Structure formats: structure tokens, C-alpha cells
Amino acid sequence: MRINAAMNLSSTLWRILIVLLCFSIKLCSSQMNLLGFLTVKPAKLFLIGSNLTVYCHTNKCEKGFKLSLEVNGETVTSSKEINCTAIFNLINFRTPSSSVICMLKGPDSSKIVDGGDLKGGLPPDKPENIICETTRSSDNIICSWEKGQKTHVNTTYNISLNRENGTRIELYQIQDDKQRGRPNPLTISRAVIEENIKYQLIITAYNPFGESQSDPFIFCLKDLVIPETPRIVNIEFGNNSQAAVLRWETSDSSEHLRSDVWLRTDKASSWTVAEGADLNESQIRVSGLRPLTDYEFQMRTYMPHNNTPRSNCSKWSASVRGRSPGKGPSQQLHVWRTFVSPGSNVTVLWKPPSPEDYSGVVQQYKMFLGNEQKQEVLYGPASSSVPVPAEIKAISISAITSYGTSPQADVPLKHSGGFGPVLRKLAPADSSSAVLASWTWTDDKHWSTSGGEPLHYVVQWTTVPGAEMKWQRVSKDQNNTLITGLRAGVRYNVSLYAVTSRGVSAPSSRLVYSKEQKPVSGPNLSVLVHEARRVHIQWDELPVDQQRGFITHYTVYLQTLDSSNTKLSVTVSGSGPRILWLDCPEGTLAVQLSASTSAGEGQPGKRIFSQPESPAVVLVIGIVFVITLFLAIVANLMCWSCVRKRIKQKCISWGPAWLDENLPKLGNSNAIRLLKVMNSLLPLFV
């Protein structure tokens, strides 16, 4: 833009310089000798689109200097040079006004040889759409016409006023008004016109490039009379700011007149025909307005005729300005509710009114709590939800704005007990942040008759795990809606409710991702049993926030740690049990597990190492365990005297009776005593 501005500025400066130079040349030509002259053929006044030839001649050919032509600051290459004359061709030249200058350029300096102006033009078009009008109180008839394309040169209009037989009454001449872009209107005195005689008006336009003549315009004075220009007296805006009543007056009788209104706003340059309805003889209602907008109104009157287009309309009235008032909300708020559990407190939700439905700002929300006594509670303009005790049986909400209050919207708290629609498969949209939800009724049934009159649907979606809930209301005539503002890789639980005059239906729910992504990581894995050629593994379910899609399958990776470095992978269905026996190579293994969604495979989980258990070691460990257990039991029995005594008593009670008899002690027998005495006497006899 700066380059264009610089070029325009340079071009303007060149034009000014050329004009000044040419003016100086013309003034001083009689007092100084020019270096040469410039000639244009066919002429400096030319028909636009013609081929022009410019001759640039210098009185003296100077060595090292060359003739050049500049047109509006741009250099034109010469096509031929003959002695001291250079010839330049301007083919199909269409610039209406140009300045040309012939230069003599040398290595270090430039000299002006001569200059001039080129003026292009077009022949006039045929004058058309001649209109002549007057009012009952006017002394003149005003005529105007369309001249057609711009000629770029002075155009003269000769207007001949004749009787119907061709006798000329008056001849008028008018010059083209270049600023208006159309000829000045013609004023004819009504004194030269008789009431019931027909006249014809012929307009001839001419300029240096040609002339054209209009078709005769035949008229009678009574056909030219139009209603007087009306005057707008007052503007009254309606309460909803979308309509205004214009009261007008005119010097004519307004009994049979009808009116048109056009308007424009301060920001509009063109007029727009307004939707108007005549209320009575001097009032018209204009609808389709916007609130808090500055308007400019004009109107005109006309006499209606059956089956004919509007003609003989008055002139447009003078402008009257007015500002439409603010608009209060006319529609109910969209409201909803959620329960943590049946019988618990309810959270009431609402959405702000649509910006197109009101003007100004939302000042606050008013909630009406219906119980034994009605209560009114006010909330700030930033509120969109509030908890309400479970014992409240009826709730309604309205918005209070700068210019009015919206109608109360009842919050549906009851269950209808009727059938509800069923969600179809949710389809992600082209973008990764939207899902198309559609639904249908089972068994070809639409709104259940037992559920009450249909009101609307509510679509509710919650992130899983449940941390964020959003909702939207859908018209009862729709069977689908686009859910937007979703995040890729986040699971949503979408529920559909049908709201009727009797309450809310049971929900139909589905899980969905707006766009699935690869899982963040693999599940936690553990080895339960590792035999020589089999391994028993188990893994935990991957947390939902790490799945980022519906798990289609798992992949188990096995790798031996010996020199063979054998690698195996096994694919397992994502819907099956998360415990599995796998055949594996012998030796110590490294085991990993990954999860996959429709978007691809995620990162594998933590690698764990496992080696098979030896059979001999197991047997030894079993024997040692049994012996240790037996010894422990025996030791306990020996240490526990009370236990031994009880066992002895049990055994005696269960055995034969003689086990319980007291037998004599052998040490107290006579035989034993005699033997002891004899043993003591034997050494005495030896």
C-alpha cells in the first residue's frame, strides 16, 4: 500500500510539474526560443480508444542526447527516429486526461523540448427515461433524464418542446453537469402549457465526437401532476424496538394516498426500502428495525391504481432521524437440572439469553422457588448453575436485562415415566472437536402418549472420569445435533433426554471420543506362575484418562535374556479377560505389555523379568517344610505338660482297664532283697 501511495504521489507531482512547465512554456513561448515542438495526430482532442501518434522534434540535433516522451510521468519508447524527430505510437489510448512532455536526455542532464495535454472523450448516448413532474401548487414543470455513459468532455443538450403536430413552442439548451454526473434538470413554465393538449419533448445531445436524439416524450399536463411532498411530523417506536410508527402530513388530501418509506443507518450510505403498513390516512408502521440503532427516515406518497405499478409518486420528504430503544428478551431461558442421586439436592442449570433476543446487558437472574411459600432468589449475571434443596417441588428462572425481563422458564424436575428415544452410534465429525449425535424411537414410536406433550430434547455430555458436564437443548422437530467443544483423546458419556409436559424421560447413553489417540502407556503387568515353557500373566485395566480411545487389543512382548535373544509377541483381544497362559521359550524372560486403539499402538508398559521355577528345588523345599512342621509340633507337645497329661488321660480312658491298675514295685520284693544280701556276703567266704 505504501508503494502504491508513493507511486500515486509521484504521479501527482509529475502532473503538477508538467502543468506548470507547460503553462510556463505557453506564457514564455513568445519571449524565448523553444528547443523544439510536439505534435499529436490526429489531434490532442481524441476519441477514447484511438491510436495516437506523437511527434517530438528538436530544432538542433545534439550529439549524446536522445529524444524521449513521458506520458503522465511514464517514459514511452520511440518506434522510429528521423533526423531530429522521434515518433511515438500510443495504441488504443484510453486515458481521458493526460499530460505529455517531450524531453531531450543526455548523459548528465535533461532538457524539456515541448509539452501538452491530451483530452479524450466519447460520443453521447441516447437520452432515455425522460420524466416530467409537477404538483398542483407548483408554477413549473421539472424534467430530467438519464444521459448514459460518461463522455469526459462537455456535452450540450438541446431540448425541443413541441405540440403534438410538431409545432415548436420552446427550445432549451442545457450543459452537462460534471459534478452531478447527470444533466441539470429542465424547468418548463406551466404558463406555456395548456391543460388538455398533448405535447412532445425531444432531447438532442451532442459533443465533438457525435450526437444522439431521444425518442419523443409525449405528455399531457394532467398526467404530470404528482402528490405534494409529505412531511414527517413524528416518530414513535414500539416497546419491542423492532417497529416504528411515522406520522406525516401533506397539503393534499390524504384520504386516498398511500405511502412508501425508505431508511438508512448512520453507518450505511445507501437507502433501503422499509417494510411498511399504512395504519390510517396519516400514519405508517415500519417494521424490521434493530434495537439501539440510529435511523434516518424519508417517505413519499402516491395514489394507488388497481393492477398498475406505482406511478406519479411524490418527491421524497426531508429526512427525520430517530434512535430505536433497547429490546427486552422475549424468549424463555434454556434450563436444565442434574441429580447426584435420586432424592438428593438438585443442581439447576441455565444458559444466558441469546444476544439476538435482547439489547443491553444481563443484570441478574431471578429464580422462583415453589413450595408451600414462593421465594424469589437473585443471582449475579455470571451465574449459570446453583444447588437447590431436594424438598423444593417447582423451580422457574428468568433473566433481568437493561430493557426488560424474560418470561419464566420452568425447570423440569419430575420423571415422565414414558418411553424415551434411543441414541444411535455417535459419529465423530470431520474436526477433532465435534461429534454428531442422532437418535430414533424404538418400535417406530414417536413421543409416547403416556409421557405428555413433547417440548424438546436435552443432550448432556460428561467427561469420563466425570469432572466436567455440559448440555444443550434441541428442538422437538430434530433427530440429531452436533456436539462441539470436545477434546481429542477424552472419553465422554453422552446422554439423551426427552422433555415433555409430564417430565423427563429416562436417559439413553453412549460413550464416545471425538477423536481417538494412542494410549499414553501400557498397563501394569505381573507374572503369576512361570513354568519351564509356560507363563501365567495378569494385568490391570489401564486408567481411562490414559487410554485416550477404546482399547481394541493388547500386545504381549516376550524376550529371552540368553544368547539366543529370542523375541515373541502375542496379540490379545481388548474385550477378553486380563489373565492369560502363554507358551514361552525356556529360560529367564523379559515381559512387556502395550495397549492399542483405533489410532494405533501406545507405548509399552514397564518391563518385568521372570525366571522359571526348578522342580528339584521345589521338592527339597517341600520336604524341609514338612519336617520343620513336624518337629515344631513335637517340640510344642513336649513343652506343654498340661497337653501331655490330657493326652495320657485320653489314652487311658480309651485303652483296656488293666492299664489303669497300680502294679507292685520290683525293688520292694523279697527275692530282690535276698539277692542283694547274698551278693554282699560272697567276698567273706572266698
Judged by DSSP in three states, 398 sits in strand
Q: Which domains does the chain have, with CATH numbers?
A: 2-121 (2.60.40.10), 128-224 (2.60.40.10), 231-323 (2.60.40.10), 335-410 (2.60.40.10), 422-513 (2.60.40.10), 525-613 (2.60.40.10), 620-686 (no CATH)
Report the half-sphere exposure of 658 (CA within 13 A, side-chain side): 1
Q: How many residues are given for the chain?
A: 686
| H or E element in which residue 582 lies | strand 579-583
Asked if 354 and 384 touch (Cβ cutoff 8 Å), the reply is: no
Q: What is the pLDDT of residue 189?
A: 94
Q: What is the pLDDT of residue 677?
A: 55
Question: pLDDT at residue 325 above 80?
Answer: yes
Angstrom distance (rounded) from CA 206 to CA 173 = 11
Q: Shortest CA distance to 609 belongs to which of 593, 585, 591? A: 591
Q: What is the pTM of this model?
A: 0.57
Asked if 377 and 389 touch (Cβ cutoff 8 Å), the reply is: no
Confidence band, pLDDT 50/70/90 cuts, at residue 83: confident
Asked if 593 and 604 touch (Cβ cutoff 8 Å), the reply is: yes
CB-based contacts of 382, cutoff 8 Å, min separation 6: none
In the numeric block, which cell numbers belong to residue 483?
456436539
Judged by DSSP in three states, 57 sits in strand
Q: What is the pLDDT of residue 339?
A: 80
User: Other C-beta atoms within 10 Å of 223: how many?
Assistant: 13
Q: Name the amino acid, one letter, at 686.
A: V
CB-based contacts of 67, cutoff 8 Å, min separation 6: 56, 58, 78, 81, 84, 85, 86, 102, 103, 104, 105, 113
| H or E element in which residue 21 lies | helix 2-28
Asked if 100 and 115 touch (Cβ cutoff 8 Å), the reply is: yes
515-542 per-position pLDDT tens digit: 999 999 999 999 998 888 889 999 999 9
Confidence band, pLDDT 50/70/90 cuts, at residue 16: low
Judged by DSSP in three states, 651 sits in helix
Q: What is the pLDDT of residue 97?
A: 93
Secondary structure letter of residue 282 according to DSSP: T
Confidence band, pLDDT 50/70/90 cuts, at residue 630: confident
Q: What is the mean pLDDT of the chain?
A: 83
In the numeric block, which cell numbers belong to residue 665?
514295685
SS (H, E, C) 590-615: EEEEEEEECCEECCCCCCEEECCCCH
User: Other C-beta atoms within 10 Å of 206: how many?
Assistant: 15
Question: pLDDT at residue 31 above 50?
Answer: no
Q: Shortest CA distance to 205 belongs to which of 180, 224, 186? A: 186
353-394 per-position pLDDT tens digit: 998 888 889 999 999 887 665 678 888 888 888 888 878 888
Residues 200-218, mean pLDDT to the nearest whole number: 95
Angstrom distance (rounded) from CA 212 to CA 233 = 45
| H or E element in which residue 40 lies | strand 36-41
Confidence band, pLDDT 50/70/90 cuts, at residue 11: very low
CB-based contacts of 101, cutoff 8 Å, min separation 6: 18, 21, 22, 38, 69, 70, 112, 114, 115, 116
Q: If you write DSSP's letter for every residue of 158-216 in order, what string do you get?
A: EEEEEETTS-EEEEEEEEEETTTTEEPPEEEEGGG--TT-EEEEEEEEEETTEEEEPPP
Residues 256-271, mean pLDDT to the nearest whole number: 88
Confidence band, pLDDT 50/70/90 cuts, at residue 310: low
Asked if 469 and 432 touch (Cβ cutoff 8 Å), the reply is: no
Asked if 569 and 554 touch (Cβ cutoff 8 Å), the reply is: no
Confidence band, pLDDT 50/70/90 cuts, at residue 678: low
390-408 per-position pLDDT tens digit: 788 888 999 999 888 999 9
Q: What is the pLDDT of residue 296?
A: 94
Q: Looking at 200-209, 547-556, 633-642, which range is the least confident one?
A: 633-642
The residues pairing with 349 across neighbouring beta strands, listed in sequence order, are 336, 385
Residues 119-124, mean pLDDT to the nearest whole number: 94
In the numeric block, which cell numbers belong to residue 496?
439423551
Q: What percent of the chain has pLDDT over 70?
A: 82
124-166 per-position pLDDT tens digit: 999 999 999 999 899 999 999 998 899 999 999 999 999 988 8
Angstrom distance (rounded) from CA 556 to CA 561 = 16
Q: What is the widest separation between alpha-carbon atoms in the chain?
A: 210
Question: pLDDT at residue 684 above 50?
Answer: no
Residues 110-132, mean pLDDT to the nearest whole number: 92
Confidence band, pLDDT 50/70/90 cuts, at residue 626: confident
Question: pLDDT at residue 239 above 50?
Answer: yes
| H or E element in which residue 618 lies | helix 615-639
Q: What is the pLDDT of residue 666?
A: 55
